[in-house]
């Protein structure tokens, strides 16, 4: 497992709608294990193993992150913002941020005040970025309306093989997709593996739809993060008990294909790997929902990585969980290759 590559992804901003820079890194990494790569107008990057195989599986890990976009620069030189994705503006008050202008980093901080701290509900429109500029004209020399803004935090190693940074949602999933495809190729998987780092999940879902509608896979797996129920303020009774370090999380839900889930469970048992379960009676809130409805409908399963403090700049994950997700997905791809050759049927009932 290439921790250095994941660390590089985590330190590369990709606010939803502004993913081009990080996608170039995803393509460069995928080029190490495949000679076939695809892109599309939405901005997806797809690395393909066994492009001539008769059967295809689409792996989706979204590479965009939540953040902000500059909407206005006022006369004092401060930047006004709107949210991109499910940001919680209160968490950013008094925090350092990165503003990216034409590929150049500009440092700033979110202004704080006693009135803002006491406010019952903080909106994105309440946030102002202070660059140190003294006027609108001075600020406009380094930034402009439309620039993306994200939290300015480094990757930090924690105890018990845990680590923290912003945007583990879902750089970790994008990383798992690429690593699993690479490992499955080395282990001889024969199915066509389309490892897609998708765009726009946090805002529009467009990336997953473009990928599924264009590629028309036999099935798909979305790899995303899910709420760890061992974090303060969470309740295992809501959607299931999920612990950091407890292993990959499989989903029981109306959108998830039962046959694929059974094969994932069997694969985990053969690996003697513990898995965790979550319940989603409606939408899963992932690329899987979008893929499921693309074209004529795509059978889908969801493999999730436990995460504490989702949609904050201090998300916490476990290296062990990520490694186990890679192992599970890689072994599943090998097993599915064999099952597809034998006529694997995704239908849960027969006529």
Name the residues annotated as catalytic.
201
What is the Cα–Cα distance from 260 to 220, expressed in whole angstroms?
Answer: 9
Axis-axis angle for helices 3-10, 20-30 (nearest 10)? 170
Torsional sign, CA 215, 51, 257, 283: negative
Total Cβ atoms within 10 A of residue 125: 13
If you search the block for the tokens 């001539």, which residue do you land on? Answer: 52
User: How many CB atoms are closer than 10 A to CB 328?
Assistant: 22
Three-state DSSP class for residue 192: strand
Best CA proximity match to 225, nearest among 283, 171, 166: 171
Q: How far apart are CA 213 and CA 255, in angstroms?
A: 17
Q: Phi and psi for 247 in degrees, rounded to 5?
A: 105, 175
| 299 cis-preceded (ω within 30 degrees of 0) | no
**C-alpha of 339 from chain center:** 28
Distance set, CA 39 to CA 163, 199, 275, 331 (Å): 31, 11, 33, 26
Cα separation, 21 vs 13, whole angstroms? 8
What CA–CA distance (Å, rounded) separates 336 from 190?
Answer: 9
């Amino acid at each position: 497992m290439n921790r250095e590559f994941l660390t590089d992804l985590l330190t590369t901003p990709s606010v939803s709608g502004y993913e081009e820079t990080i996608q170039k890194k995803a393509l460069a990494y995928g080029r190490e294990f495949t000679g076939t790569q695809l892109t599309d107008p939405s901005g997806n990057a797809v690395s393909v193993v066994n492009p001539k195989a008769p059967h295809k599986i689409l792996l989706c890990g979204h590479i965009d992150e939540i953040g902000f976009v500059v909407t206005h620069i006022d006369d004092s030189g401060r930047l006004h913002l709107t949210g991109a994705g499910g940001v919680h503006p209160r968490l950013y008050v008094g925090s350092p941020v990165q503003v990216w202008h034409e590929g150049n980093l500009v440092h700033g901080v979110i202004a704080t005040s006693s009135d803002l701290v006491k406010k019952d509900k903080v909106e994105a429109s309440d946030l102002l970025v202070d660059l140190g500029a003294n006027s609108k004209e001075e600020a406009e020399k380094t930034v402009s309306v439309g620039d993306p803004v994200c939290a300015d935090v480094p990757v930090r190693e924690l105890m018990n093989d845990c680590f923290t940074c912003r945007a583990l949602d879902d750089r970790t999933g994008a990383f798992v997709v690429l690593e699993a495809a690479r490992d499955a190729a080395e282990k001889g998987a024969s199915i066509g593996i389309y490892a897609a780092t998708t765009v726009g999940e946090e805002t529009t879902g467009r990336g997953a739809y473009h990928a599924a509608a264009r590629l028309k896979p036999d099935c798909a797996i979305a790899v995303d993060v899910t709420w760890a129920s061992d974090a303060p303020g969470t309740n295992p009774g809501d959607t299931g008990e999920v612990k950091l370090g407890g292993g990959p999380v499989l989903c029981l839900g109306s959108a998830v294909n039962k046959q694929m889930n059974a094969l994932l469970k069997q694969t985990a048992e053969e690996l003697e790997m513990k898995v965790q379960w979550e319940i989603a009676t409606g939408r899963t809130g992932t690329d899987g929902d979008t893929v499921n409805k693309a074209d004529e409908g795509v059978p889908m399963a969801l493999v999730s990585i436990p995460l504490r403090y989702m949609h904050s700049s201090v998300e916490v994950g476990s290296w062990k969980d990520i490694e186990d997700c890679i192992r599970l997905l890689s072994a599943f791809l090998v097993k599915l290759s064999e099952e597809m050759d034998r006529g694997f049927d995704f239908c849960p009932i027969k006529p």
